[in-house]
Structure formats: structure tokens, C-alpha cells
Amino acid sequence: MKTIKIFLTLFPLATLLSCGEKQETVNSASQAVVVSTAVAKSSPLLTDAVAGGYLAASKTSNLSTRMMGTVQQISVSLGDKVSKGTVLMTLFNRDIDAATLAAQSGVNAAKAAFKLAQNDLAAYKVLFEKNSVSSREYQGVKTAFVAAETAYNQAKAHLEMAKAQQAFTQIRAPYDGVVTNRFINQGDMAQPGMPLLEIEGGNGFDIWTSIGSEYIGDYKIGDTVTVKVHPSEWTLKGSITELGLSSKNTAGQYRVNITLNGDTTPLLSGMYASIYFNASNNEKETIYVPLEAIVTKGQLKGVYVLSAQNTAMLRWLRLGQEHNESVEVLSGLVTGETYVLHAQSKMYNGVALDVQN
């Protein structure tokens, strides 16, 4: 009877322990985070050389004058859009104005003398045909006409020269564009060759940059590059349009000009851009991870990798250049490792994973 009592006492206890273990297993399974994973694989390097530079309008001009003069009027402000031929600035030069007036007076006088000589020639021609004047007299009138005509032409040439000089006192837009800088104020004295205004035009942008000697042989004019403009992170394509083949005066670097392709409407001159030169061959390999898999905490970036116990482990990475929707992994992840691509709920170190690919 005593033995029976002990058995009955132990049985409920064993039953409770068994239920507790079952409940713990159910709770652990229910807390697992549903994820999709990917396996790190080596692939050909997409980006080789990386450089930087500033955007510049495809047309940029510093406007100056050939004549000395005082700035009489400035007709534009910074940021104004102007059309080709628009007067942007006017200079005053008393000597040029006086020379133009004198040349105009000379033309008027020479023109009157020419008209008189022309009338005399016509009259003497009639008289000569009627034998009313001698051949000597007629030849003298013809000579006077030629001299008057020559003087008139010279006077007109002098006036054109004076007007050409006067035209240099008007600074005009060489093409449709935008005024981006002004180097002088009204009342200042302008000197020949001194920049007065800066104007930018064209519908596109160029970037001048440099690459090292280890890359210069890998690229040619017409090659496509990827350009990312900061800080907006606007990404677009560009083409190599100029390629320097000497680094004599550029400290071992070779100058490259990139012309941007596509819509550049949101961009402005002077913005900084990173330039990614596509790999010239497929000999180099690296690991690329989709950007959606990257975990960012402050300045650190990493991914969750799948442990042998099927739990998440946060692994910090050293990343390289982005390419489309992926980023290059320089260290921290090796080929064959499984990492979390997407999670349906919050991730943390040690959480159990329910992989559903």
C-alpha cells in the first residue's frame, strides 16, 4: 500500500515536466524569425578605378574686353538667363566715342565730295560727247571722281574700324546661357584681357578627373562610366570624351574628361561626383551583396549570417563601391557563407531563424 502511494505521487510530477518541455519547444519555434537567405558568391569585379571631380557646364566662358574703359552699366545679375547677343555690360571710353564721331563726320564729308564729283563726271561726259570740252578736261574730271570715290571708301572703312572698336565696349553673351559670376563693379576700370563676367551654357555637364598609370591603358575614348553626384546620390552614366596620354605636368596622373549622359536637369555646376570606371576585364573577382541585406548602425555596416545552430549572427563588413543595387564586400564575408537577405520581423544577435527561400 505504501508503494502504491509513492507511484501515484511521482506520476503527476513527471506529467507536468513533460508538458513544460513541450511548451518551451513550441514557444522557441514560434519566436523564430522568418527570413530569406542568399549564399555569398564570387563574381567578376564590376568597378575598377574610382575617381572624383566637380561638375562643369559643357560651355563656360570668362568674358573680357580688348579696350580700356570705365564700367558704365551692368545689365545682368548672377543667375540671370541670357540669350546670345544680349548686352550684359557697357563700358565708357571717351577716346573711342570721339573717334567714332570723327569718322562719321569724315564719311559725311567724303560722301558729299563723291556726289559732287559724280555729278561733274556725268555733266562733262555729255559735254565731251558733244565736243564741247577737251579730252584733257574730261580726263581731269574723271580723275577727280576716282579720287573722291577712293576717299569716300576710305572714310567708310575708318568708320567701320571705329565702330568695331566701339563694339568692344559692349560685352555681349556669346551663346544662350546663365550668368554665374561677376568680377567687376559699376564704376571700376576694365583692362584689356581682364575677366568681367562668367557665363555657362549648353545642356550638359562635363567632369575633369585623373586616374593613375595602372589604369590608363585599360580605357579608351567612348567607354562608359558610372557617375554618382553627391550629396543627392543621383546616379547616371557618362562617357569618356577626352583622355590624356601624358602625366608630365600632372604629378603622375592622367587627365580624363567625362561627359554626362541622360537627364541632367537636377544637377548644378560645381557639384562633387564620384566616378566609377567599369572593370576592363573579368580576371578580378569579388563578392557583391544586395544593398537590402546591409545592416547599418552608426558608421558600421554589416549583414546577419546564418550560424551552425540556425541562429543569426551580426557580422561587420568592410564595403567597397556600390554598383546598381549591390555593394562590393572587401572583407568580413567569404564565399559560401549564408547571409540573411530579407527578414519579416526585427533581427538581433542569436535569434532563431526560420529560413524560407
Residue 95 CB-half CA count within 13 A: 6
Residue intervals of the chain classified under CATH 2.40.420.20 are 32-48+285-355
What pLDDT, on the 0 to 100 scale, is given for residue 25? Answer: 37
Q: Is the predicted pLDDT of residue 80 greater than 70, yes or no?
A: yes
Work out the pLDDT band at 4, boundaries 50, 70, 90.
Answer: very low
Nearest to 88 by CA among 106, 100, 98, 73: 73
Identify the sign of the CA torsion 309, 315, 320, 326.
positive
List of residues 6+ apart from 168 with CB closer than 8 A: 65, 66, 67, 91
Residues of the chain above pLDDT 70, percent = 89
Domain spanning 32-48+285-355, CATH class: mainly beta
Q: Is the predicted pLDDT of residue 27 greater than 60, yes or no?
A: no
159-189 per-position pLDDT tens digit: 998 888 888 888 999 999 999 999 999 999 9
How far is residue 264's CA from residue 274's CA, in Å, rounded to a whole number?
15
When pLDDT is averaged across residues 110-137 and rounded to a whole number, the result is: 91
Highest mean pLDDT, choosing among 7-16, 95-104, 338-347: 338-347
How far is residue 91's CA from residue 167's CA, in Å, rounded to a whole number?
10
When pLDDT is averaged across residues 62-73 and rounded to a whole number, the result is: 91
Lowest-pLDDT choice from 165-169, 292-296, 320-324, 336-340: 320-324
The fold adopted by the segment(s) 94-166 is Helix Hairpins (1.10.287)
Residues of the chain above pLDDT 90, percent = 57
Mean pLDDT (the chain) is 86
Cβ 185 vs Cβ 116: under 8 Å = no
Dig out the grid coordinates for 301 from the structure: 555596416
Is there a cis peptide before residue 231, judged by omega within 30 degrees of 0? Answer: yes
Residue that wins the pLDDT comparison between 17 and 215 = 215
When pLDDT is averaged across residues 64-92 and rounded to a whole number, the result is: 92
Cβ 47 vs Cβ 276: under 8 Å = yes
**CB burial of residue 271 (10 Å; 0-12, 13-18, 19+):** middle
Residue intervals of the chain classified under CATH 1.10.287.470 are 94-166
DSSP designation for 175: S
What pLDDT, on the 0 to 100 scale, is given for residue 169? Answer: 86
